[in-house]
Amino acid sequence: MNATARKLGILVFVLVFGTMFLGAGAVFAGATADQTVTYEVTAINEISVSGNPAALTVSTAVAGAEPDEVSDSTTTYAITTNQSKKITGVLDTAMPAGVTLKINLVAPTGGTTVTDVTLLGTATDLVTGISPVAESGKTITYKLSATVAAGVVASANKTVTLTIADSL
């Protein structure tokens, strides 16, 4: 065999086995594969109430004293939040002169109740320091009071709005 044939044989050998080596590497790289997964959890803030309270009627007094306060604790609220929040309350319109409506929300675990808050036309804190929580059946207590100066007040409706708000 002459030198040229020998060189050609060596070249062929290198090409064949080099290709086999590279091919083997490609086969072994397919045993694992990476994926990039994109995900997120958005801010979740949900509140709902069990219904409307029963009618509140101031109708009695002890002679010499202002009329007796009446209360209702028949409704509850449910809350789900994954943030630090507070709950505020607001009336759609002001109460008649001499008539006061208060509200008391039982706080969810970790929160703090602001006791017997007089509801106004501007939002007022009812529960503060709420941490991420998912709870239901939290009692809502309404208290209606009236002074004699209020006189007789015919049946009327007010809408109370409870809102999950930023703590700051």
Partner 1 sequence: MHCKNIRAFFLLFSFMAIVALAFSAQSANQVVTFSVTAINEIAVSGNPGALVVTAATAGSQPNEAIDNSTTYLISSNGTNMKITGSINAAMPPGVSLKINLAAPTSGSSAGDVSLGIDSTDLVSGTGKVAEAGKTITYKLSATVAAGVVVNAHTTVTLTLTDGN
Q: Does 150 bind partner 1 (CB under 8 A)?
A: yes
Q: Which residue among 129, 148, 166, 167 contacts partner 1 (CB under 8 A)?
A: 148
Within 8 A by CB and 6+ apart from 133, the residues are 79, 80, 81, 108, 109, 110, 111
Q: Which residue among 101, 117, 126, 127 contacts partner 1 (CB under 8 A)?
A: 101
Q: Which residue among 3, 26, 37, 154 contacts partner 1 (CB under 8 A)?
A: 154
Tokens of 1: 């065999």
Residue with tokens 């002074």: 147
Q: Does 55 bind partner 1 (CB under 8 A)?
A: yes
Q: What angle do CA 6, 11, 15 make, to 5 degrees?
A: 150
Q: Does 129 bind partner 1 (CB under 8 A)?
A: no
Q: Does 117 bind partner 1 (CB under 8 A)?
A: no
Do the Cβ atoms of 79 and 111 come closer than 8 Å? no
Within 8 A by CB and 6+ apart from 61, the residues are 67, 68, 148
Query: Which residue's CB is nearer to partner 1, number 7 or number 47?
Result: 47
In residues, how long is the chain?
168
Radius of gyration of the CA atoms of the chain, in A: 36
Site for partner 1 in 26-45 (CB under 8 A): 45
Question: Could you give the CA distance from residue 43 to residue 132 in angstroms, rounded to a whole number?
Answer: 10
Q: Does 121 bind partner 1 (CB under 8 A)?
A: no
CB of residue 114 vs partner 1: minimum separation in angstroms? Answer: 18
Which region among 4-12, 34-42, 105-113, 140-148 touches partner 1 (by CB under 8 A)? 140-148
Report the interface residues with partner 1, using CB under 8 A: 45-49, 51-53, 55-67, 75, 77, 99, 101, 140, 142, 144, 146-164
